[in-house]
Amino acid sequence: MTNTPQSTDAAGKAGLVVSAHSADFVWRAAGTIAAHVAQGYRMKVVCLSFGERGESAKLWRKGPQMTESTVKAARREEAQRAADILGTEIEFFDLGDYPLRVNDEALFRLVDVYRDLQPSFVLSHSEKDPYNFDHPLAMHVAQEARIIAQAEGHRPGEKIIGAPAVFAFEPHQTEQCEWMPNTFIDITEVWERKRAAIECMAGQEHLWDYYTRVALQRGVQAKRNIGITATRDIKYAEGLMRLTPTVTGVLA
């Protein structure tokens, strides 16, 4: 692959994923997570909420015995299993959804995660999403916490972080969200793992094939963007929108 930076040594490297609801990281970033785990990265997912109100329709339809508490438990269990399959850590902030609200206490908890993890990149939602206002808020918080984690005056004496690259993963209706994939990750080798994680999401089975098709389309596009003369085959890919500049010594 002509455009691939080769990380020959990922020792000590880490990546963070900030997910508004407990299933978002699976549809949108499971391949990227698994691919980095396979290269030795420590990966961590923070779920700001369980998506218990807005993204659990199928669970609620089970009947009146369902409560916010039982729905949250079911969602937590699904997300934990997916994380285990992908090999990533996962932490639940349980802040509520529809609407998600993030106070400064939660913000500082996320700062702590950054400082502990020292990630070289962070993934979260698109900055605009007219279908879901929790998503842009998650990205906003992910960036605000990143900035605070860089500040020496926040809990002086702690080890600050560098400048982890910020990426927005793929929203459901990309064009309405003004999201553009300027980065494609080849996830062909970890595809089975992503599909297995997807299948943990019993409550949203209607999305399984949707996101399988997304991976196939992004695979075709990734291949197009390295040129048909490239020998490497890419079948499945994830698209990401990089928001921060790249600093490099070689272009391609």
The site that binds a copy of itself (CB under 8 A) totals a number of residues, namely 97
- For strand 14-19 and strand 121-124, is the pairing parallel, antiparallel, or unpaired? parallel
Which residue in 84, 158, 192, 217 binds a copy of itself (CB under 8 A)? 217
Q: Under the criterion CB under 8 A, does residue 175 sit at the interface with a copy of itself? A: yes
At closest approach, how far in Å is the CB of 142 from a copy of itself?
Answer: 12
Which residue in 17, 34, 197, 214 binds a copy of itself (CB under 8 A)? 214
Single-letter residue type at 216: L
Instruction: Tell me the C-alpha to C-alpha distance, in Å, between residue 67 and each of 51, 75, 226.
Output: 13, 12, 49
Q: Under the criterion CB under 8 A, does residue 32 sit at the interface with a copy of itself? A: yes
Which residue in 48, 102, 201, 222 binds a copy of itself (CB under 8 A)? 222
Tell me how far apart the alpha carbons of residues 123 and 19 are, in angstroms, rounded to a whole number. 8
Interaction residues for a copy of itself, span 40-79 (CB under 8 A): 52-54, 56-57, 60-61, 64, 66, 68, 71
Q: Output 83 or 115, the one with its CB closest to a copy of itself.
A: 115
Q: How many CB atoms lie within 10 A of CB 11?
A: 8
Tell me how far apart the alpha carbons of residues 252 and 240 are, in angstroms, rounded to a whole number. 18
Interaction residues for a copy of itself, span 102-141 (CB under 8 A): 104, 107, 120-121, 130-133
Tell me how far apart the alpha carbons of residues 83 and 81 are, in angstroms, rounded to a whole number. 5
Q: Under the criterion CB under 8 A, does residue 248 sit at the interface with a copy of itself? A: yes
Write b or e for each residue in 224-251: b if 16 or more Cβ atoms lie within 10 A of its Cβ, otherwise e. Answer: eebeeeeeeebebbbbbbebeeeeeeee
Q: Output 93 or 223, the one with its CB closest to a copy of itself.
A: 223
Q: Output 68 or 91, the one with its CB closest to a copy of itself.
A: 68
